């Protein structure tokens, strides 16, 4: 599976959206990748998970971890394909943490998987949390890298497709200046333009 095939699958599933979006990072963008629209199809989730797992097959990964909620489906599929255990991190009181009784074995070879990377913030927080709990972070991966390869997370990072999609602070957003309604994907709510 090459980068173009990944992007074509997103388009075919109506998961590549254009407009004025508020990203998880707090930045604004004219393009949003709604991974849930693709990952709702088990055959697509399995294909992406298998392809990501193939790229890490020689790393002796024992644990795959993802930030909730976006990374859960693809992380689980990668773990399944690698024959590894799967857990996720989630925010509690604003901090990324392990909950639900999840734990990490000392020096456990771990792969962090995300659906889409923009700034790498959620992946970095997940890596930090896992390291604090004793994991040995081998690498990170995602279906899409929308940073054009610029996002760094402190370990090797691989994506199935890379796009260069601008994401800007609200103060620099042309759509805000034009008064275009801001949408927070997932909620379908229009937000007041900043």
Q: Report pLDDT for 118.
A: 83
Q: How do residues 27-81 score in pLDDT, each as one tens digit?
A: 899 988 899 999 999 999 999 999 999 999 999 999 999 999 999 999 999 999 9
The whole-angstrom separation of Cα 149 and Cα 48 is: 19
The whole-angstrom separation of Cα 183 and Cα 80 is: 34
- Does the pLDDT value for residue 82 go beyond 80? yes
105: domain CATH number is 3.40.50.2020
Q: Report pLDDT for 112.
A: 98
Domains identified in the chain, total number: 1
pLDDT tier for residue 23 given thresholds of 50, 70 and 90: confident
Q: Is 140 helix (H, G, I), strand (E, B) or coil?
A: strand
Q: Mean pLDDT, to the nearest integer, of 165-183?
A: 91
Q: Which of 177, 171, 178, 170 is nearest to 21 (CA)?
A: 170
Q: pTM value?
A: 0.87
Least confident of 94-98, 168-172, 182-186: 182-186
- Does the pLDDT value for residue 194 go beyond 50? no
Q: Residue 4 corresponds to which tokens in the numbers above? A: 């173009």
- Does the pLDDT value for residue 190 go beyond 90? no
Range of the domain at 176: 3-191
pLDDT tier for residue 191 given thresholds of 50, 70 and 90: low
**What mean pLDDT value characterizes the chain?**
92
Q: Report pLDDT for 166.
A: 83
Q: Report pLDDT for 188.
A: 42
């Amino acid at each position: 599976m090459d980068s173009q095939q990944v992007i074509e699958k997103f388009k075919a599933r109506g998961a590549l959206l254009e407009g004025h979006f508020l990203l998880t990072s707090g930045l604004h963008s004219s393009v949003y990748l709604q991974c849930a629209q693709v990952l709702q199809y088990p055959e697509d989730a399995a294909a992406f998970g298998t392809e990501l797992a193939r790229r890490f097959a020689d790393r002796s990964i024992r644990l795959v971890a993802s930030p909730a909620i976006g990374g859960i489906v693809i992380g689980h599929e990668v773990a399944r394909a690698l024959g590894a255990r799967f857990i996720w991190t989630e925010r509690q009181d604003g901090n990324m943490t392990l909950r639900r009784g999840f734990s990490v074995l000392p020096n456990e070879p771990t792969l962090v998987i995300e659906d889409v990377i923009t700034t790498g913030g959620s992946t970095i927080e997940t890596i930090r949390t896992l390291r604090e709990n004793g994991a040995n972070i081998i690498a990170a991966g995602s279906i899409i890298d929308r940073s054009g390869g610029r996002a760094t997370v402190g370990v090797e990072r691989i994506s199935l497709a890379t796009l260069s999609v601008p994401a800007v602070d609200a103060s620099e957003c042309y759509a805000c200046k034009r008064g275009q309604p801001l949408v927070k994907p997932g909620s379908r709510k229009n937000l007041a333009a900043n």
